[in-house]
Structure 1
Amino acid sequence: MHVLGRSSDTDGPVLPLGRFRAPDGSHGVRVGVDANGPHAALVVGKRGSGKTYTLGVLAEALARTDGVTAVVVDPMRAFTTLPDAVPATVTRPRIPAGALPPRAWCDVLSIPSHTPAGALLWQAAAEAKTLDAMRDFLAAHDTTAGRAARNALALADSWNVFGEQRTEVLDLDRVTVLDCAGLPRPALAAVTRAVTDTVYDAAITGRLDVLPWILLDEAHAVTDTAVWPGLRRLLTRGRKPGISTVLATQRPGALPPEAVSQADLLVAHRLTARDDIDALETAIPTYLPAALADALPRNPGDALVVDDAGETAHDLTVRERDAPHGGRSRTVT
């Protein structure tokens, strides 16, 4: 098996991904992804090309691999079938209010921190660790700014994602799928930011005996929100504590440039939008084909994989999943 993400001939766990694909479409050697160390990966592709399917393949492999754990942020209910095939738990997210830093509260609720309401919200988040305690803090400020902050907090409460009975993000024995379907965009941002910060804090303090992976589908929906500072920290500083991040998106052109440039593994399915192809071309290494649009595959499930560890690019076909794919579109028949 050829292992992506390894710069030398080392041992360690491998995540089965698929097989090399020859120009005539025939399949060759099996291909896997290194799981012995941390990685920053990006999976891209237009709708229906296999992007979410590939993320599911990685999630299944992680659930069967010792020495790693994973959390999947699932905004479209595409991974709820994982427990049918592998050790996995699907749950609606519940996070403690204290999981968000004060600045993130201002960003999530779209209240600029330099305004009076934003300053009060920042203070409430810094002083209190629950929504009730934050409300109590703001109740003492019967001003226009105080009322604005309380109204914003009431909105956050209506999302039903904050609570003292919190969801355990990391299960060392199985993959955790956070079912975020139907959550408003600010609520999804709050959950995702809490995940990035919780995993980073647990890894950097040495509380984890395994290497954590974070898999985020539809990443373009939150990278311009309060999530980005947490994600950027994982992408730029996650290697030392051993954190792997996999972002999947159908719109790479909507991601911050660092989300593309920091990736040491790129799995590119079919793309046709010029701005999405341009976003990849501006950050891809020099050993890739000059005309990226011509190198991208046309069939669902096929991918161009760029391995920065080995400084190589390969054509491959992603293997079939063991669990039913929950990301298919509905049809009439």
Structure 2
Amino acid sequence: MATTGADPQRIGRELDGAVVTVDPALPSAVREEVEEIIGRPVGAGAGPRVHVGPGLPRLAAGERLLWMHSTNAGVDALLRAHSPWPPEALLTRTVGRMGERIGQYVLAWALAELQAIPGFLRQQEARTWNRLPTELADGTLAVVFGTGSIGAGIGAALRRCGIRTVGVARTPRPAPGFDSVLALGDPTGPHGPSAELTAALGAARWVVDALPLTPGTADLFGPALFGAMAGATFFNVGRGATVRTEALAEALEQGRVAHAVLDVLPEEPAPPASPAWDLPRTTLTSHSAGPTTAADITADFRTAWQALRAGRLPALTVRTAAGY
């Protein structure tokens, strides 16, 4: 789990003299809470830099970055902008209650579809009264790619409504929120998805992409994975660049994907010319599935600060070589 060169005991010893800064664009509540956590004003000290924010601060000549706590859960853009990452600097991220919130988002859209809410809204606009067919959630199958804290939150939310959950992970092992976990394998390779994953996707009512963007997940959802689906509704609440838009368009046209709900896209904000706007039976929600609050940022920073003071690596440490 450790980031190469980021020694938690060394970092913990240096915290007392570190200069802690907070991005000025963040709410004042974040700065105030960080000052309470560290026991001094932000900006005080003469040692290496600790920074809380969405991006790296400008460092003075000779200044050393000790630790950055990202206010985002996804750090792929940050790592691309600062490649290679300083090997001795620790990077942590903010997750907060994002798994719970994204789980509620996925469940809300799934239940809306099962209860034919879009159809009833159209009927109301047309002043038409017809009973529309609805479905029960109980017993349907969701396949969730990504079994970390966000994937686990999605799985837990769906299971509460009786939806069976299968997780997909690079290294399969039992995970909270899932009835079982399958190996991701190499679905874009010459042999395609494994027989187990192909069978799960073929039986799935819901397929959820909750993956981070790494070299191994870029363009992962293409013809092979979409081709194994048989009318599932596809959610992307991970990263836009994990999905090939043209492959999703083809799967929607063929009916392999019945509907799509996309909270993230390869290019954000999506320009008017983005092909995503033209996808049939698709809803775009403008990266709103898992809002991060000031309390989330400071709670995760506090937990990481306390771990480092105890000489431990924080649970939200980013493995910079892996990208998450």
Q: TM-score, normalised by structure 2?
A: 0.33
Q: Which has the larger radius of gyration?
A: 2
**Structure 1 or 2: larger strand share?**
1
Q: TM-score, normalised by structure 1?
A: 0.33
